[in-house]
Structure 1
């Protein structure tokens, strides 16, 4: 085959299995609160709603169990585990790790990495103003990923891998609200400014506040006013 007749690569979304699509849809629905804590999930009903057979639904549910979002009980069924406490505990873990990474990044970040973050902030401002939700989610993930890279904390970054599914679903849910988009943009800009000033303590504080503020808003959106009952005081 000559280079003139070479074919373009297949769009990655087309290579994903039906199981992965079903898994992603169910996961996002659980994290968004469409299935309340403790609700029993009926595999046949889910399959009918999604227009698929029960096989990919069963496979997806096993994946959700591995992520701690559902509990499978023999001869009884599948139950939603995701709760306000779990959501906020995940945020506490993320805030602890990412605030340390921001602290270190403020000491080690290069001019090239700062320029990249500055460009992302500018793109986020445009996406925020135009309500471009999917683009804003992508930019959010790129922003945090760039800080992880600048910190060089590969071990800590791997510790975050297990909850990326929650972070993405939270962003999709929360950033659908105009007020939350604006608040998030301001916080990301402030984190960038702390990094540009090479102020480790300020970068750490702003990152932690950003993550916990977002988590509180998401928990309130999904579960209502329940955080006061969780006995957390981590500011």
Structure 2
């Protein structure tokens, strides 16, 4: 009689689930898995090189996020489409532009100094094509503005949009021209905050998010129109 196999490390299993979830979410939001696609659990698990256990958990999370839908006797269907992507970008633009407006009236000198440092690091990362570093800095930039605004309720509402935002950012920032456009827009937001100009901060943030959201829709969904 053989000895029992050792149990999987819970942390390893958790990490695997996160990895599968991130891979599928990125594939959906980037357009690699188009709206209407049916996902076969066994085939998808084999493609990802995992068992169906972490895949099932990932699919449950994706359904909660509104990216897929379970269809009885058929499987899991991708539901994320261009209309949903545009709607989510507009929702984020509405929330973040108001947060930026409030931040312009409340931001401290220390906050400004922190944003300037992040802005300079973003400039360097953009020039170097350091995408991973730029993604992290991008998130830090926005999080600093959120904290400076003091708008906890708006931040809670915004949390529901971050699932889309993070995946779209990874997709978009792979392009150098987009990285340069995004840098210029972030520096415009910073300038408005430095001037403590609520109208300019609101406008700069809204324009940035709406423009990048439309670019994501045009780029990620172009293959579906061909």
Q: Shared fold by TM > 0.5?
A: yes
Alignment partner, residue 141 of structure 1: 139
- 1:17 deviates by 2.9
Q: Which residue of 2 aligns with 1:80?
A: 78
- Is structure 2 residue 14 aligned with structure 1 residue 21? no
| 1:1-235 alignment runs, 5 A limit | 16-224=14-222
How far apart in 1 are the matches of 2:36 and 2:129? 34
**Alignment partner, residue 5 of structure 2:** none
Report the counterpart of residue 232 of structure 1 in structure 2: none
Q: 1:192, 1:216 → 2: CA distance?
A: 22
Q: 1:184-217 deviations in whole A, cap 9, x for unaligned?
A: 0000001000000011000000000000000011
Q: CA deviation at 1:55?
A: 1.1
Counterpart in 2 of 1:6? Answer: none
Quick one: distance in 1 between partners of 2:107 and 2:14?
35
Give secondary structure in 1 for the equivalent of 2:76. Answer: strand
Distance 1:54 1:113 in 2: 46
Q: Paired residues, what number?
A: 214
Change (3 A) 1:142 1:110: same
- The 3-state SS of whatever aligns with 1:171 is helix
Distance 2:40 2:162 in 1: 26
- Secondary structure of the structure 1 residue equivalent to 2:161: helix
Gap regions ≥5 residues in structure 2: 1-10
* Secondary structure at the counterpart of residue 78 of structure 1: strand
* Residues 14 and 120 (structure 1), Cα distance of their counterparts in 2 relative to 1, 3 Å cut: farther
SS in 1 for 2:58: helix
TM-score calculated relative to the size of structure 1 = 0.88
TM-score computed with the length of structure 2 as normaliser: 0.92
Q: What is the distance in 1 between the residues matched to 2:177 and 2:43?
A: 35
Report Cα offsets for 1:27-81 as digits up to 9, x if no partner.
1111011011111011111111111111111111011000000010111111000
SS of the residue aligned with 1:17? helix
Once the two structures are TM-superposed, the CA of residue 225 in structure 1 deviates from its matched residue by 9.4
Gaps of 5+ in 1: 1-12, 227-235
